[in-house]
Amino acid sequence: MNSSAVQPDAAVPVVILCVDDEPNILSSLQRLLRRQGYQVLSAQSGADGLAILEQQPVDLVISDMRMPQMDGARFLEQVRQRWPDTTRVLLTGYADVESTMAAINKGEIYRYIAKPWDDNDVILLVKHVLERQALEREKRRLEVLTQQQNEELKTLNASLEAKVQERTRELQLALQGVQRSNEQLRKNFLTSVSIFSNLMELRAGSIGGHSRRVAEIARKLASRMGLLKDDLQDVVLAALLHDIGKIGLPDSVLDKAEPALKNDELVQLMRHPLIAETALMPLDQLKVAATLIRSHHEHFDGSGYPERLSGTAIPLGARILLLANDYDAVQHGHKLSSPLSQAQAYEFIVASSGKHYDPAVVEAFKALFGGNRPSAQAVEEPAARTPKPGVVRPRSMITRDEAYADTPSHEEAELELTSKQLRPGMVLSKGVITREGLLLLFRDDVLDDKLIAQVIKFEKQEKYPLTFWVKEHARWGAT
């Protein structure tokens, strides 16, 4: 079958009836149309043609005009009356305008073909006829479908208001459920980030606690620079996870300061921002943080890595993270050959303003110290001067490691307690940190019986006491 033949349904062949009293004409039409894949029927008179139509459906009738007993006009008129969906075409060999007009008026023919015909014209005409039939059938189908849908819409509209009210109640209940669980989901997310951070701290060995300290410095800097809440959170998340790309590094790289690394080791180290970004990007809530981590070793003067970005081409959060990271790293012997004191670290940062660090971030950093260089006494504050539990400790007595611990954003008195002094309802003013630098509880966590029992169990297992700082309004729980 010729693939170019247009058929209403590929499973049902197109049927064409040719009516002519001349056998040679019928044979020519049959050969021409069958080559196109059509089923061709033939009749030598109008009466024979009507008999065939009574036996089976026909898509197209091609009838000669001049035939004995019943001419083409009368024959096609009866076809129109009895089978209106069958398309009618007149075949005429005479320039008889009156006969053609009669066929048009009585039989409502679609087209006429003049003898002798051109085969291509006939084939094209048949294709047009079948395409037109297919469009008409589709139009009728769509009209029926539209009517059915209109009836269905009428039925739906009759009860639409009740359904809308019912659906509204369902949505309200669902929204209430979301609102109840939203805060818990947020806390679970932050807890997961904390767990990742803790796992990195366990892997980090000698630099344990680094991510937590960097996160708090970065938080203070971002807050000082007026970052919005969401942007500030992205900075803190990036800080907590900024070294996650180092998890796969060998101990020989992690245990060395950067100046002591060999070339191949340095290459491994410099890949960790990209590894971290790749690991975190699939998580929608960490996509921005992943971008900040990628750029947190870029220097303001363009000397950093991995892309040698400079100036404001580096995301602001990454510029903040770089300073916070380096400030902690130089004090713990990770970035330089030997560790610096807090005062020396301060000078190191300030001296690199405009080179490694954004001057605006450096100014915010200096403001954290009131614009003054930290004193050596504050850095070396001995543990023996720590007040007894239950006594409000002056700010001036906070040691170096606690300088950027979780503290309230405003001046608020706080109590230092032991686990035995904790009571349900107390609110932590600082996160609870283990000796290994792991974060157990967040600032602003509200204590309950379960949490208190867990920390007491932890102390028994690890065989050392923890320190708990609670806000002053929790004083009623102290004993």
Amino acid in the structure at residue 330: V
* Helices vs. strands in the chain: H and E counts, helices first: 17, 9
344, pLDDT greater than 50:
yes
Nearest-angstrom CA–CA distance, 283 and 344: 39
382, pLDDT greater than 60:
no
355, pLDDT greater than 60:
yes
pLDDT at 389: 37
DSSP secondary structure letters along 402-423: GTTSS--SS---EEEE-GGG--
pLDDT digits (tens, 9 = 90+) for 273-309: 988 888 888 878 888 999 999 999 999 999 999 999 9
> Residues of 133-164 as b/e, b for ≥16 C-beta within 10 angstroms?
beeeeeeeeeeeeeeeeeeeeeeeeeeeeeee
Q: Which of 231, 433, 430 is nearest to 319 (CA)?
A: 231
To 10 degrees, what angle do helices 316-331 and 342-351 make?
Answer: 140
For residue 15, the cross-strand partners are: 39
Considering the chain, what is the average pLDDT of its residues?
79
Length of the chain: 479
Nearest-angstrom CA–CA distance, 57 and 133: 14
Distances (CA, A) of 52 to 13, 17, 61, 416: 17, 8, 11, 106
372, pLDDT greater than 80:
no
Banded model confidence at residue 137, pLDDT cuts 50, 70, 90: confident
pLDDT at 187: 65
Q: Which of 106, 115, 7, 24 is nearest to 16 (CA)?
A: 7
Q: How many CA atoms lie within 13 A of 138 on its CB side?
A: 9
Q: Which of 472, 209, 174 is nearest to 328 (CA)?
A: 209
Q: Which two tokens stand for residue 420?
A: 């035995």
Q: Which two tokens stand for residue 317?
A: 């959060």
